[in-house]
Structure 1
């Protein structure tokens, strides 16, 4: 069973709008391109036909991704300002020697914000979930190293 992921209303609306554009505008446009290219004759040597089919495959893949994201997200209000790391919170932390500030949330939905976004399912997100301001936790990096993470502040995301 896929776990629900937190997403703010603005990001949810943005993903819904992208899905609507891809299904209602882009999909019919690609079908039209394929039909026009088919009329040009031999499909084996028809570059426009193959390009349109490739575009169709990429569009359908993105539609499936968006449908899955939207089906498995939980639209939420900004979490309570209680200093606990949870989806929807902006975390300032010292990760090993590096100072970081990031949003714990749905990465795909937040490509236009200035903060880095980490998924709660990512190794760093999993390590920090439930920790509090002032805590130090161990984070096992994907390369196998273990880093200490000192959580300096945890505040609700104000998109």
Structure 2
């Protein structure tokens, strides 16, 4: 199977049948993340016990990339410590910026398949939305909304 075909298959599976697209009853952390240039809008729910992420989910809507990326992220962070999740978020952001090594990208498991998003500037914010929301959730764990800022005033997402 070609890498592009595998990418499409995994992205489609996470978008069409996301394992974590649900509100989490008893979530200890919750934050809404929005990409206004695109219309992607998610609410991220995490249930934690101290520094350990016990469960996670998301609700909302958006393009296939935003939905698949947050689902892949939750696959990675559930069961991990907060610091590990934040490390993975930093690795993901570095990958999108093109500054992560192949070894670091391997830590991202399926999310590493999104590495070529960096060559599609209009889709970067879509892929980053869940990861940005998680980082913000841990830095300011009060309910609210974060908005993904476009890097330039002309950056927008293609129609979904």
Answer whether TM exceeds 0.5 for this pair: no
Higher Cα Rg, which structure: 1
More helix by share: 2
TM (normalized to structure 1)?
Answer: 0.23
TM (normalized to structure 2)?
Answer: 0.23
More strand by share: 1
Q: Answer 1 or 2: higher relative contact order, Cα 8 Å, separation at least 6.
A: 2
